[in-house]
Amino acid sequence: MAPDPDAPAPPPRDTVRTRRLGRTGIQVSELALGTWGLSGDGYGPVSQADFDAAVRRALALGVTVFETCDAYGRGRAEETLGRVLAEAHDETVVVTRVGVDRECDPPRKRFDAPYLTRALEASRERLMRDPDVVLLHNPAASTLARADVARPLLEARERGRLRAWGVAAGDVEVARAAIELGADVILLAYNLLFDGDLVELTPELEARDVGVLARSVLSHGLLAGMWSSSRMFPPDDHRRDRWTQAELGTRLHHANAARCLIDERVHTLRSASLRFVLENPLVSSAVLGPRTVTHVEQLVRESRGGPPYLDPDRLARLPSRLAEVGAL
């Protein structure tokens, strides 16, 4: 039987497998290092040394995709990636986002051509390279209804200043508008407690061969399986305002139902949650947010051994288990 050209490539020397990023022609590691948490914006301060070390360790383990944004740490994330990736001898893929003007008070979304053109050049300077993929950062569907909104990105692609463009989409409506506009790549929330958007969009994504980057894979740590319902978050951690204690307890109850996926090969809820995302062949890369070298190593280690990534029978039972606890 001929090999499936879309099947994940086996990892060299126990490193991360690779997949194709839709029709872009770009080959990517199935795990991507996201930099929001490393920038200090999401979960509190991260030292420069820890940021650098996490990127270097990800590189050493075969991660080739790095997701960032011009707004993370007011440019710090792009600057760090640019400096550390310049040391790497392997080919890397940088995905960045534009569309939030932080020079305004308060910051506001901007997708006009002059702003996007300036933002692209500023990102290039901080990264010290051309980004490979540029995403519009959470635009409204009405913004994407403007036929010219992507023109600066298309022109940059034509000049060889980026290889693909796309949209970081907050919901199905936005993602669908992006697909209709011709986006090469979609960044979308997808995890075992929130899979409906990707499922609904699957026919359109497959028909257009759109690359999919999955975010919120561990639901901001909820699906790592390490918390109790009494977990408290510090003031500079966005999760403090995301869930009340009652909501957190309910979500943990839902998450614990997914422990039915754990077996002799899948040892933790974190591993099961990551593998659930990788089990979907439509996902090109799972964007993760480790903030330490230890986190990077854990995630790479727990993604090994597949496909299949999960026991098919256990996976088939998951919807009924989630329904039993009211998660669906």
Structural domains for the chain: 12-221+270-310 (3.20.20.100)
3-class DSSP string for the chain: CCCCCCCCECCHHHCCCEEECHHHCCEEECEEEECHHHHCCCCCCCCHHHHHHHHHHHHHCCCCEEECCCCHHHHHHHHHHHHHHCCCCCCCEEEEEECEECCCCCCEECCCHHHHHHHHHHHHHHHCCCCCEEEEECCCHHHHCCCCCCHHHHHHHHCCCCCEEEEECCCHHHHHHHHHHCCCEEEEECECCECHHHHHHHHHHHHHCCEEEEECCCHHHHHHCCCCCCCCCCCCCCHHHHCCHHHHHHHHHHHHHHHHHCCCCCCCHHHHHHHHHHCCCCEEEEEECCCCHHHHHHHHHHHCCCCCCCCHHHHHHHHHHHHHCCCC
Distance CA 307, CA 6 (A): 12
Structural contact between residues 162 and 24, judged by C-beta atoms closer than 8 angstroms: no
The answer to whether residue 6 scores a pLDDT higher than 70 is no
Question: Residue 93: what pLDDT?
Answer: 97
The answer to whether residue 324 scores a pLDDT higher than 60 is yes
The stretch 194-210 carries a mean pLDDT of 98
Counting residues of the chain whose pLDDT is more than 90, the rounded percentage is 88
The stretch 302-311 carries a mean pLDDT of 91
The per-residue b/e assignment along 84-101, b for 16 or more CB within 10 angstroms, e otherwise, is: bbeeeeeebbbbbbbbbb
Question: Residue 107: what pLDDT?
Answer: 82
Query: 247: left (phi > 0), else alpha (psi -120 to 50), else beta?
Result: alpha
Question: Whose CA is closest to 191, among 260, 280, 299?
Answer: 280
The stretch 101-115 carries a mean pLDDT of 89
Task: Name the more confident of 174 and 12.
Answer: 174
The stretch 1-5 carries a mean pLDDT of 46
The stretch 289-293 carries a mean pLDDT of 94
Q: What mean pLDDT is reported for the chain?
A: 93
Question: Residue 147: what pLDDT?
Answer: 83
The answer to whether residue 98 scores a pLDDT higher than 90 is yes
| Residue-wise pLDDT tens digits, 147-156 | 899 999 999 9
The answer to whether residue 106 scores a pLDDT higher than 70 is yes
| Model pTM above 0.75 | yes
Question: Residue 312: what pLDDT?
Answer: 96
Question: Residue 14: what pLDDT?
Answer: 53
